[in-house]
Amino acid sequence: MLVQRILIFILFSCSVYGNTLDTIKSSLPRKEILKLAKEASDLLHESNFEKSFAASRIVLRYAYEKGDNYLIAKSYNTIGANYEQLSEYDKAILYYKKGLSFAYKAKNDTIKNWIYDNLGSLYCFEKKNYEEGIEYLKESLRFNEENKDTTKIVTTKLKIAWAYFDIKLFNEGIEYLDFVNQNKSQYVDNSKVVVLNMLNGMYYGNRNKHAMAESYFLQAIELGIQENNKTDLSYSYQEYSNYLFKIGAYKKAYEYLVKYNQLSTDIQNSENIKRAKRVGVNVELDDYKRKVDSITAVNILQNHSLRKSKIIVVMFIVVIVVLLLQMYTLYKNYLFKKKSNKELTLTNAELIVAKQKADEASHLKSQFISTITHELRTPLYGVVGITNMLLEEHKELENSPHLNSLKFSARYLLSLINDVLQINKIEENRIVLEELTFNIEDEIEMIITSLSFIAKNHNNAIDVELDPNIPELLIGDKLRFSQILINLISNALKFTHDGKVVISAKLVKIEGVKHFIEFKIKDNGIGIAKEDQEKVFDTFTQVGRRDIDYQGTGLGLPIVKKLLELFDSTVAIESKLGEGTTFTFTIGFDFDPQKTTAIINNIEVDLSESQVFKILVVDDNSINRLVTQKTIEKRNYKCEVVGSGKEAIELVKNKNFDAILMDINMPEMNGFEASKIIRDMGVKTPIIALTAFNKDEITEEALSVGMNDIIVKPFETTVLFKVINQLIYKG
C-alpha cells in the first residue's frame, strides 16, 4: 500500500513537467457529419441495423474529435435505438442515458425529447418498470405540448395509455386514450391504428363490454396483417389471448397465444438482427478504445516528463529502499506463516477427527429418528383408521367427545412426527425444490380455508392484499411455499384473539423470468418481546406461554427459516408486546408462459372410474390389515388380505389381482424380497409399497425390486385410490 502511494506521488509530481498533445482536428466538415448522422437514423428506420451501427460509429468518432455535444447525443440516441431493436435493453438504456447527458450539455430540447420518449417506451414495454417509464413519457409529453406538436402529443399519449393499461390502471389511462380517439382521423396513421384498436379492446374488455372489445381486437389483428406490422400484431395477439382467457374461451386463447409465440420468434430470429449484433460490438469497442487512447496519451505525457525530470532519480531511489523494506517484511511474514501453518496442520487433523465423529453422530441421529417415526406411524395408522371406522359405522358416536379427542390426539401426534422428519430432512440437505405451476391467490385461499377453524375459534378476521402486477401463473415449489405460509399464518391466528391477520404479497423486482415477491404476515396479537425475537427460530423453542397454554411443537418457525434458506431467502420479524407481529420474506418465482404450458400438459390426470378392481393387501399387523381392507371395500373394490410375504407369493401363483398393496417391514420375508420374487415369476401386477417408512429412505430400493409407487401410512384415501387407478390404467 505504501509503495502504491509513493508511485502515485511520483507520477503526480512529474506530470507538471509534461507537454500537452496537439488537439486532433477533424478533416470532415460538420455539414457532412450531420448528413451521415441523418443517414444512420434513416437506416435504423429501414431496419438496416448493420449499416446504421456502422454509420453511427463514424459520426460518434468525428463528434468526439470536434467536441460537438449535439452530434454525440444524436449518435448515442441512434446507437441506443439500434440496441433496443436487438432486444439488448440494458445496453440501449446505457447509450440513451449517455446521449441524454450530452443533450443537456448541448442545451438541445429536441434531442432531449427524443431520448425521453425512447427511454419511456423501453422502460414501460420492455423492462416493465412502468413507474420510471411513465415519468420519462410525461417529460416527453411536456416538451411536445410546449411546442404544440399535436402529432407527437397523440403518439406520446397513446404510449402513456398503453403503459397504464398494462398495469391495469384503466382509470388513469382512459383520459389519454380518449384524446387519441378524438384525434385519430387526422393524426393517427396506419402505423399507430393497430395499437389504438388493441388498447380500445383492452379497455372495453376490462369494462366487460365484450362485443366492443371483440370488435376492436379483431380490427387490430386484421390491420396488423394488412400492414405487415409484425411487432404491433404480436402485441395484439398477446392481449387478445389474455382477454379470451379472462372470459373463459381457453381453446381460442391458446390458439392466439401460439400465434403470438410464433410471431415473436420470427421477429427475434431475423437475419438482419443476427448480423447487426456482431457489428454492434464494435461500438462498445470504440468506447473502450477511446478510453484506452485517452489513458495512453496521459501515459505518453507522463513518460516524456519523467525523462526530462531530474527528480525521478531521487524518487526511484526512494522506491528501491521501500521495496527492500517491503521484501524484508515479507520474509519476516513468511517465517511467521510457516510457523502458523505447522500449528494449523495439527489443528486441522484434530478437526478432521472431530468432523468424522460429528458425521457419525448425525448419521446415528437420522437413523434413530427414522426408526422412531416408523414405529410411531404403524400404530398411529391403526388408531386413526379404527377411529374413522367407528365414526362411519356408528353414526350415534359422531358427537362423542372421547372419540373426537382420540382422533385429534392421533392427528396432533402425526403432525409432530412430520415436523420432526421435516427438520431432519432439511438439516441433511435431502430436500430438492420442485418446479410446479401455481397461482398465488389460489394457494392463499386454500390455506385460509384449511385454517378457518383456528380463525373462528379465536374470533379473528383474515384480510388478503395481492399486488395486481403479480403474474397469474408462476413456477416454483408450491408445496414448500405453502408450508411456509401455513406455519406463519397459523402462528399469527394462534397468538391473536378478537383481532385481524393481514396477508400481503407485492411484486418488488423482476430479473429476467425471475419475479421477486415480498410476502408479509401481520397480526395485532400478543406480540413477541425483543429479547425473544431471535429465540423463536430455534428448534423446539416456544415463548409467550406464561399466561396461556398455546399448544405446539416449537418447530413451525424453525421449519419456515430453513425452507426459506432453500429459496435463497430469509425471514425478518418486527414485533412489539401487546401490539402484534409482522413476518416478512421475499421469494423469487419464475414467470415463463411456455414452460408453464409444458408443465400443465405433463400433469397426470386421475382416470378413476366406477370399475371394480381386485386388490391384495399384504401386512403382518392385523389391525392395519383390517383398516386397509375396510378402506378398500368401502370403495366397493374386492379385497383379499394375507399376513406375510410368503402367503402373498403363493396366492399370486393361483389368482390374478389388479393391484398389490405391500407392507415393507415384515418378519421372515420383508416387502422388498416378496416383490422381487413376484416380479421374477413374471407377474406384471402393479405393486404399491404401503409403509410407515419415510418415502425418501426406501424409494431407490423399492424401484430396484420392481415396485411401482410408495404410499406412506397414515394416508389420505383419495391419494391411495388415485395411485391405484393411475397404475392400473397405465398397465
Over residues 489-497, mean pLDDT: 90
Instruction: Say what the alpha-carbon torsion angle 392, 398, 404, 407 is, to the nearest 10 degrees.
Output: 0
Residue 489 has pLDDT above 80, yes or no: yes
Which position has the higher pLDDT, 333 or 307? 333
Residue 294 has pLDDT above 80, yes or no: no
Which position has the higher pLDDT, 368 or 131? 131
pLDDT at 371: 61
Residue 274 has pLDDT above 70, yes or no: no
Residue 668 has pLDDT above 70, yes or no: yes
Over residues 84-88, mean pLDDT: 84
| 425-448 pLDDT, tens digit each | 666 565 667 788 889 988 899 888
Over residues 524-536, mean pLDDT: 83
Q: Are 646 and 637 in contact (CB under 8 A)?
A: no
Domains of the chain: 436-601 (3.30.565.10), 614-730 (3.40.50.2300)
Over residues 128-155, mean pLDDT: 88
Q: Grade residue 652 by pLDDT with cuts at 50, 70 and 90.
A: very high
Q: Grade residue 397 by pLDDT with cuts at 50, 70 and 90.
A: low
Q: Grade residue 639 by pLDDT with cuts at 50, 70 and 90.
A: very high
Measured between alpha carbons, how far is 454 from 265 in angstroms, rounded to an integer? 51
Over residues 36-46, mean pLDDT: 85
Q: What share of the chain is helix, strand, coil (3-state, %, to 5)?
A: 65, 10, 25
pLDDT at 203: 92
Contacts of residue 399, Cβ cutoff 8 Å, sequence gap at least 6: none
Q: Grade residue 164 by pLDDT with cuts at 50, 70 and 90.
A: very high
Which position has the higher pLDDT, 32 or 538? 32
pLDDT at 574: 92
The answer to which of 417-421, 523-527, 586-590 has the lowest mean pLDDT is: 417-421
Measured between alpha carbons, how far is 151 from 180 in angstroms, rounded to an integer? 10
Short-list 600, 561, 598, CA closest to 583: 561
Measured between alpha carbons, how far is 35 from 55 in angstroms, rounded to an integer? 10
Over residues 119-132, mean pLDDT: 88
Which position has the higher pLDDT, 88 or 453? 88
Over residues 32-46, mean pLDDT: 85
Measured between alpha carbons, how far is 326 from 320 in angstroms, rounded to an integer? 10
Residue 219 has pLDDT above 60, yes or no: yes
What percent of the chain stands above pLDDT 90? 24
pLDDT at 549: 45
Q: Grade residue 307 by pLDDT with cuts at 50, 70 and 90.
A: low
Q: Grade residue 88 by pLDDT with cuts at 50, 70 and 90.
A: confident
Residue 687 has pLDDT above 90, yes or no: yes
Short-list 247, 254, 161, CA closest to 203: 161
Which position has the higher pLDDT, 239 or 190? 239
Indicate the pTM of the whole model: 0.41
What percent of the chain stands above pLDDT 70? 77
Highest mean pLDDT among 169-178, 341-350, 549-558: 169-178
pLDDT at 254: 87
Over residues 490-495, mean pLDDT: 89
Three-class secondary structure of residue 510 per DSSP: strand
Three-class secondary structure of residue 615 per DSSP: strand
The answer to which of 317-331, 416-430, 565-579 has the lowest mean pLDDT is: 416-430
pLDDT at 125: 83
Residue 484 C-alpha cell reads as 411456509
Instruction: Provide the mean pLDDT of the chain.
Output: 80
Residue 661: phi and psi, rounded to 5, are -100, 115
At position 427, the amino acid (one-letter code) is E
pLDDT at 13: 47
The answer to which of 443-447, 525-529, 690-694 has the lowest mean pLDDT is: 690-694
For 39, 293, 653, the CA distances from 36, given in Å and listed in that order, are 5, 24, 90
Over residues 543-569, mean pLDDT: 69
Q: Are 581 and 520 in contact (CB under 8 A)?
A: no
Residue 558 has pLDDT above 70, yes or no: yes
Residue 297 has pLDDT above 50, yes or no: no
| 11-26 pLDDT, tens digit each | 444 444 344 333 334 4
> What's the Rg (C-alpha) of the chain?
36
Q: Are 502 and 519 in contact (CB under 8 A)?
A: no
Which position has the higher pLDDT, 24 or 123? 123
